[in-house]
Chains A and B, each alone.
Chain A
Amino acid sequence: MSKGHPPSLYKTIFQVRYESQLRYVQQISPAAQQMTEYPDWETDGVRVTLRDRDKHCSVAIAPDSFSYEQDSGDASLEKERIQRLLDVIPSSMGVDSATRIGYRQWFMLAVDMPLDSLVSVLNVKLLSSDEGLRQVLPQTISDLRYRVDASDDGHKYHITVGPVQKNEIPRWLPFNRGHHLRPGTAGGEFRKIVDAYPDVAVLMDIDMYREAEVLPMTEASSFVDQCRGTLSQMADSLGRYLFAVDLGG
């Protein structure tokens, strides 16, 4: 049974991609300087990365994209920082349209059962139980992953759901140690973070995005709001669906 609803948010990445132009190279640095809430910075001469290691988040600005990455479930911080990013960067750099706007979140739903039992549940709930398939496959399904690409109303999705146990979570939930932890203490900090992960959980990795030749930047903010609601609801509904013990009607 799941230990708690709704699933917990662990990570968010927001990214805007646009057609690369030479003039953007010179505008990246002035734009980055306006983002004063990030104490640390790094540049290779073309790209700039801004970091807030205390809050486990960072911004990356490049000639062809800018993005926000946060390794925590702090929804209000994520909302505030992404809005700030959208307020500052496009206008400072003169980016008025994008080719892709994406919003991706990782959720985990801790469960109170061993991994093999969770695999059995997800096998019934997410994959085909058809006799024909069972006759083809080996008798015991010991692990699985559910992965679909989907779309609706101009929005596209990459959805991955699967059972995970603590020691494999870092592989499926990529924590940005380089940007979000202090170099001197990163090892110890990261061990504490991993220790706090659930022993067994359902991991949901949902990427929602729009892609077109011209996506007006003015729509980015409302799109992010929409993504935020959709992904949260989807993760919650998936959790309810997977662990339903109510026959209904």
Chain B
Amino acid sequence: MTQATQATMTPTMERPPFFDLYGIPDHKLDQLTQAVSEQGPKEVVAETKASPRAPLVDEELPMARSKDSTRPAESGAIAAKSVAASSSEYVPQEEPSIRFEQFAHARVAKPNPAAQSIIRTALAKSILADLRSIQQYAGSAMAAAYAAPLLKTMRTMRDLVPYDPYVKVVMALYDAMAYENRWADYDAEQYQGARQTLGQLAKQTSIDRRDVAKAILELEERGFNTTPFGMPATEED
């Protein structure tokens, strides 16, 4: 138990597999990677913020969203809920930073498939339980009490098993929920749907790219905007 294990970290800036979900072309990704290597993540964040197509990153991610700042909603019903719920004082004190933390996690050692499956099951159980809870209180101030631990567990999963394809789907839902506190906009039916999608996927013994794409598409069809932010613009654009 105290025996030192072999070094498991890979010192290279390897790209986590879920990165491609955001649709970043490889050449742009390389630019970002290089920029992080040279300047550190903060500078990249600032550069990205300057882009008109990239209204992302930490500072703009929520605390409470004001009544005036509701985004164009997919439906009138959701928009109405958004106004009500987002003005709540129960907004979780989470600062979900979505994109640039991923570089740090690229060095996490990849567990073998059996271990990955066990870890996935353990964390998926927690996520599904939190989704059930938030589903029950969707649209009410109480939903915030369940949104915070849910988002936290999702980030934990990303940190611990970033190579698991299941994480791609989890993080797609995370983006849909965390960006501008949109967790408050979704209704019970949508959360139930997300739970079904994630639950069914977690039960699979193996998950490939098609399963991931299908699950993310399902989330989109259920009304989750899994790519809520734009991409950094470059000169080529």
Contact = CB atoms under 8 A, between A and B. Distances in A.
B112 interface: yes
Contacts of A227: none
Interface stretch (B3-11, B28-36, B48-56, B211-219): B3-11
Contacts of A164: 1, 3
A113 B161 CA distance: 16
Contacts of A22: none
Interface string B175-217: 0000000000000000000000001001100000000000000
B1 A120 contact: no
A163 interface: yes
Interface residues of A, number: 39
Contacts of B73: none
B119 interface: yes
Contacts of B121: 244-247
Interface in B78-103: none
Q: Interface size bucket, B side?
A: 35 or more
Interface in A96-135: 112-121, 123-125, 129-131, 134
Interface string B21-48: 0000000000000000000000000000
B67 interface: no
A121 B111 contact: yes
A113 B115 contact: yes
Nearest to A128: B156
A42 interface: no
B13 interface: no
Interface stretch (A27-35, A140-148, A228-236): A140-148
A165 B8 CA distance: 16
A62 to B, nearest CB: 31
A129 B2 contact: no
A245 B117 contact: yes
Given A116-B5, A116-B6, A124 B112 contact: no
B125 A121 contact: no
Residue with the highest number of chain A CB atoms closer than 10 Å, among B104, B116, B119, B199:
B119
Nearest to B107: A139
B8 A140 contact: yes
A129 B156 contact: yes
A121 B118 CA distance: 7
B175 to A, nearest CB: 18
A167 interface: yes
A39 interface: no
A123 to B, nearest CB: 8
B135 to A, nearest CB: 14
Nearest to B109: A116
Contact of B118 (A119, A131, A172, A243): A243
Contacts of A124: 118-119, 122-123, 160
A130 B149 CA distance: 10
A143 B2 CA distance: 6
A248 interface: yes
B152 interface: yes
B160 A117 contact: no
Contacts of B117: 1, 245
Residue with the highest number of chain B CB atoms closer than 10 Å, among A113, A125, A162:
A113
A240 B219 CA distance: 32
Given A140-B8, A145-B2, 12 more contacts: A113-B115, A117-B115, A120-B109, A121-B111, A121-B119, A125-B122, A130-B156, A142-B8, A143-B4, A163-B1, A168-B1, A247-B203
